[in-house]
Structure 1
């Protein structure tokens, strides 16, 4: 049995993660961390430093500002951590990579198995099609999402960029420039509205033909299930940096 601490337990994703854990027989929620009150059947602490309950792993669906105290806590307790929060800056990403030298760190900007399969398909498509095809990434999310573009859109673009033999650059908005599209561009477009859980579409546009690879998340449960799967997996692993590709092996 893997005992889990949920960071951000009072948030929407925190509640879904708790429900996912409750439905399983290989994991249990030991505690939560959140500044906001939570009507939970497990103890909730307002900061990582206040946690007194023993556990095997931490799942974080909170806010980038929580990363540093979380990393200090898990390094002190020698706990694995699954980081599902998006919006980290370069300094924070460097900090989590540094922490992975001491503890197991699972970091993915999207915990959906389907999205990570889409990324592998896009990498294959990019290798086959090459620079003769223009690439555009379109992502859609609900109107409460703060960061844009989504971390997943950047994951997709990064994966495609890594397959290209020539240098690429990202273009997020074209309304301010009047020029033809360059072959080195990867366009990234964000749509925010309603209650869209998550839609990602990748266009490979060539001469007289277009290939589309897309993924639609219809419930937040897909991300919660991925996070819990990662936590169960990570609980028995040595120090290092892990991502969804490790679960796809």
Structure 2
């Protein structure tokens, strides 16, 4: 039985993960963390601080807020507990702190736990290597009107993966308002749309001479992220210290 502590348990993704785990027999949530611990009646104890939690978990799932990261990293290192970080909006300093912690514990960091979205990233990396010379690359992401960060963390994941494949030769252009110059070759355009209840959509466009290739992933519910998070949490439990990604899981 894999025992989980979930940070951000009362958020949308946290609750979806909780409901999914209730249906499984080989995994359970032993504690949750929330800034509003009494907001929802959970089947497990909920704390405002990770240091209030006395139960030992096999892995921590973080789907909370970047402000919670320092305490989670400190706790996980002190207790030698694997950590799945699925929080967006992290700063460069946060990423460096994650890398430092991963030298002492196994950490899987991803801005998106969807297996489908991470497979898209795997595909566009291969496409970029073949098409880059004669094709322009644009990324369009769509999310609901309550999403705070723009562009999405997943859009950055896609752009960064492509750029790494192309030896960091690309620069990012966010929208084109006020830009009176024609598009240059070494750009990746990234565009954000916010509206309604769109769960999440990412479209990567390779536009060439008289032909267009589009690779798109659409999320229809939060359940796909919960499924991926549970799979990733199980994956990271018995791993050696180090920094992992969803690509490591997909490559299995």
TM-score over 0.5 (shorter chain): yes
CA–CA distance in structure 2, aligned partners of residues 96 and 51 of structure 1: 21
- Listed as ranges, the gaps of 5+ residues in structure 1 are none
Are the aligned partners of 1:81 and 1:104 in contact in 2 as well (CA < 8 Å)?
Answer: yes
Q: Evaluate the alpha carbon distance shift between residue 131 and residue 165 of structure 1 in structure 2; reply closer, same or farther with a 3 A threshold.
A: farther
1:8-47 per-position Cα deviation (integer Å, ceiling 9, x unaligned): 1111111001111111122100000112023101011111
2:19 corresponds to? 19
Find 1:188's aligned residue among 165, 187, 190.
190
Match of 1:191, SS state, is strand
CA–CA distance in structure 1, aligned partners of residues 240 and 169 of structure 2: 35
Deviation at 1:166, TM superposition (A): 6.8
1:143 corresponds to? 145
CA–CA distance in structure 2, aligned partners of residues 19 and 173 of structure 1: 38
- Listed as ranges, the gaps of 5+ residues in structure 2 are none
Match of 2:25, SS state, is coil
RMSD, matched Cα: 0.9
Q: Evaluate the alpha carbon distance shift between residue 166 and residue 88 of structure 1 in structure 2; reply closer, same or farther with a 3 A threshold.
A: closer
User: Given the two structures, how large is their TM-score scaled by the length of structure 1?
Assistant: 0.98
- Which shows bigger deviation, 15-24 or 187-196? 15-24
1:81-125 per-position Cα deviation (integer Å, ceiling 9, x unaligned): 100000000000000010000001010111011011111110111
2:133 corresponds to? 131
CA–CA distance in structure 2, aligned partners of residues 190 and 56 of structure 1: 37
Moved over 3 A (4+): none
Give the length in aligned residue pairs.
Answer: 249
Q: Evaluate the alpha carbon distance shift between residue 109 and residue 166 of structure 1 in structure 2; reply closer, same or farther with a 3 A threshold.
A: closer
Are the aligned partners of 1:131 and 1:164 in contact in 2 as well (CA < 8 Å)?
Answer: no
2:35 corresponds to? 35
Find 2:156's aligned residue among 151, 154, 157.
154
1:223 corresponds to? 225
